[in-house]
Structure 1
Amino acid sequence: MPSSDPRLRAAARRARGALHALNLPGGRPARIPPTPAGQRLVPEPVFVISSVRSGSTLLRVLLNSHPRIRAPHEMHLRTLQVDQTKPYTKNAMTQLGLDQHELEHLLWDRVLHRELQHSGKDLIVDKTPGNALVWERLHEAWPDAKYLFLLRHPASMVSSLINGRPDRDPAQTVAEIKSYVDAVEDARNRLPGLTVRYEDLTDDAAATTRDICGFLGVEWDRRMLQYGKQDHGPFKAYIGDWSENIKSGSVQRARALPAAGDVPDELRATARSWGYAC
């Protein structure tokens, strides 16, 4: 029996209108409303935006050595997807205002929250290099996220990849690095954040980590410089660096910067814009 309360009848009409908006006639796609504020379990995660072979594992273990910061191995959130196996599943989620992106955002957020809860810390950092390729998606999922942009000489990243896999094709390796550095530069130009240079991190880890802590709003802790005394999980391929340098437990000085003649033409513009002579 319909309610006689005009306020309840008005609320019911608004609810029916909202559902109708999610199920438009003519086969047009439904408009998914924006995620309400406060819907993230981890509202302000920190993402490292970097290329592969940029020193992100070193940055991770230094940060993870801080008593308030959890920086786990690479999380690869962008490859963690939700499978809606039936047409009616998608329809049901649409009625709830949840599209594919937002369902995956909820899953990603829950994974970060679970890791943070298990660590007992209150700030989480994800350093997956693939973040650079989906920075727009991360910003959509977490409008209040913080970003660390980690730079390294592009030619050094090429040589590091080839040193680890001598069978790699040089041209394909240069193209891979270029795709990453272009994405990093795009993100730097469009997102707020702190830029960190790998060569500075290895030359003066104390000063660089102080700057990072100031940006993140936590007090600097000397234990960050002694990452070898703490457990950071295994150093394995596909979830981070596994070289002897990172396993040494101490910050190793970066290699000498490549000579100008050794910088691939495709990477010269980025190297110069990042402040490297070439």
Structure 2
Amino acid sequence: MTGVRDLRIRFGRVDFGNPQPPLTARPPRLPTVAAMAWKSRVNAAVEGMTGYVITRARPRAVPAAEPRDEPRPPADPAADRLLRAPVFVLSPVRSGSTLLRVLLNSHSRIHAPHELHVRRIAVTLTTDPVRQAMEAAGHRTSDIEHILWDRLLHRELVRSGKEVIVDKTPSNVFACRRITTCWPDARFVFLLRHPASIARSWHEADPRARPMDEAVRHTLQYMRHLEDARRRHDGIDVRYERLVDDTEGELRRLCAWLGVEYEPGMVRYGDKDHGDFVKGIGDWRDKIRSGRVQPGRPLPAPEEVPGALREIAAAWGYL
């Protein structure tokens, strides 16, 4: 018998270095005590040299997907929610939401963190006992998700030492119903920008990967959901063009709606720490890094507005 160092491990068998002739078919037989002892000795030797143990592969059981329930408002708002009247900026991508965030975050009483994407945080109850326990406690899966979302945002607010939290994640436009279910007292800021400027800005961020027709299709999804939210819920409209042309005036109006006094230092957002500007959780380009409000691009002429965007542009007062 060759030494253990000559052992080669292959898929499904152990080969001691010498090629073996094909095995002829034979009836299956139970392993003898001697064979089992031999395998144990080999396994012990391999484990001693490598730290690994040879075991027979077994199929893994895949847990069944947990059925989703219908989200519902908190049964006891005083006990189930820590936040009171959280603020959500609903906007399409490339509409100036990061600029609005840092302007608001420059206020001594407003905390506007980077995009948090809490709606993507899901809970899975992995065993029957935990499902039984949560049901006995009166919790559905979505109830637990809501409690978790609320706790995460509340932690952000408490750590900031401020009083009002503003979340500006653009994809929240697709989850407005879920947000109002989680926080029935949620408040909304509807951030508008000329639809053609939104599509053009998204296209220019990566022209090769985002041709203009794809940019129109992609950004229009956000715009339609935003318009639906505007029709269903109370809130305040803020236009990007006015925000960059009359920053102080728009911030005064927004602060009054939020119930806080306007602070002149808000305009100089570069004087405050807003964390790193990182791709994926907000704008990260040179304009936002400058620390100053930059002029907006000229508005497109009516004939320059793509046909697919004309209806929403008219609804928002740009045509």
Q: TM (normalized to structure 1)? A: 0.86
- 1:109 maps to which residue? 150
Pick one of 223, 226, 232 that aligns with 1:181: 223
CA offsets, 1:70-111, max 9 Å, x none? 000001111111121123322321222211221111111111
Q: Partners in 2 of 1:91 and 1:261 — Cα distance?
A: 61
Q: Partners in 2 of 1:122 and 1:32 — Cα distance?
A: 26
1:231 aligns with 2:273: yes
Q: Partners in 1 of 2:308 and 2:102 — Cα distance?
A: 31
Q: Partners in 1 of 2:259 and 2:72 — Cα distance?
A: 34
Q: How has the CA–CA distance of structure 1 residues 31 and 71 changed in structure 2, closer, same or farther, with 3 Å as cutoff?
A: closer
* Structure 1 residue 32: Cα displacement: 7.3
User: SS at 2:93's partner residue?
Assistant: coil
Q: How has the CA–CA distance of structure 1 residues 164 and 138 changed in structure 2, closer, same or farther, with 3 Å as cutoff?
A: same
Pick one of 22, 35, 55 that aligns with 2:75: 35
CA offsets, 1:216-265, max 9 Å, x none? 00000011001001110111111000111111101011100112222121
Pick one of 46, 60, 63 that aligns with 2:104: 63
User: SS at 1:195's partner residue?
Assistant: strand
Q: Partners in 1 of 2:306 and 2:139 — Cα distance?
A: 45
Gaps of 5+ in 2: 1-68
What is the aligned residue count? Answer: 249
Q: Which is helix-richer, 1 or 2? A: 1
Matches within 5 A, 1:13-162: 34-38=74-78, 39-162=80-203
Q: How has the CA–CA distance of structure 1 residues 178 and 141 changed in structure 2, closer, same or farther, with 3 Å as cutoff?
A: same
* Structure 1 residue 170: Cα displacement: 2.5
Identity in percent? 49
CA offsets, 1:106-155, max 9 Å, x none? 11111111111110001100000011110000000001111100000111
- 2:206 maps to which residue? 165
User: SS at 2:77's partner residue?
Assistant: coil
User: SS at 1:57's partner residue?
Assistant: helix
* Structure 1 residue 266: Cα displacement: 1.2
Q: Partners in 1 of 2:170 and 2:257 — Cα distance?
A: 21
* Structure 1 residue 31: Cα displacement: 11
> 2:70 touches 2:142 (CA, 8 Å); kept in 1?
no
For 1:107, give the aligned amino acid.
Answer: L
- 2:233 maps to which residue? 191
Q: Partners in 2 of 1:62 and 1:133 — Cα distance?
A: 24
Q: Partners in 2 of 1:232 and 1:30 — Cα distance?
A: 36
Pick one of 240, 260, 282 that aligns with 1:218: 260
Q: Partners in 2 of 1:33 and 1:98 — Cα distance?
A: 12
CA offsets, 1:12-32, max 9 Å, x none? xxxxxxxxxxxxxxxxx8997
For 2:76, give the aligned amino acid.
Answer: P
1:209 aligns with 2:239: no
User: SS at 2:189's partner residue?
Assistant: strand
Q: Partners in 1 of 2:305 and 2:132 — Cα distance?
A: 52
Gaps of 5+ in 1: 1-28
Q: Partners in 2 of 1:30 and 1:159 — Cα distance?
A: 38
Q: Partners in 1 of 2:141 and 2:303 — Cα distance?
A: 47
> 1:32 touches 1:98 (CA, 8 Å); kept in 2?
no
Pick one of 245, 250, 255 that aligns with 2:297: 255
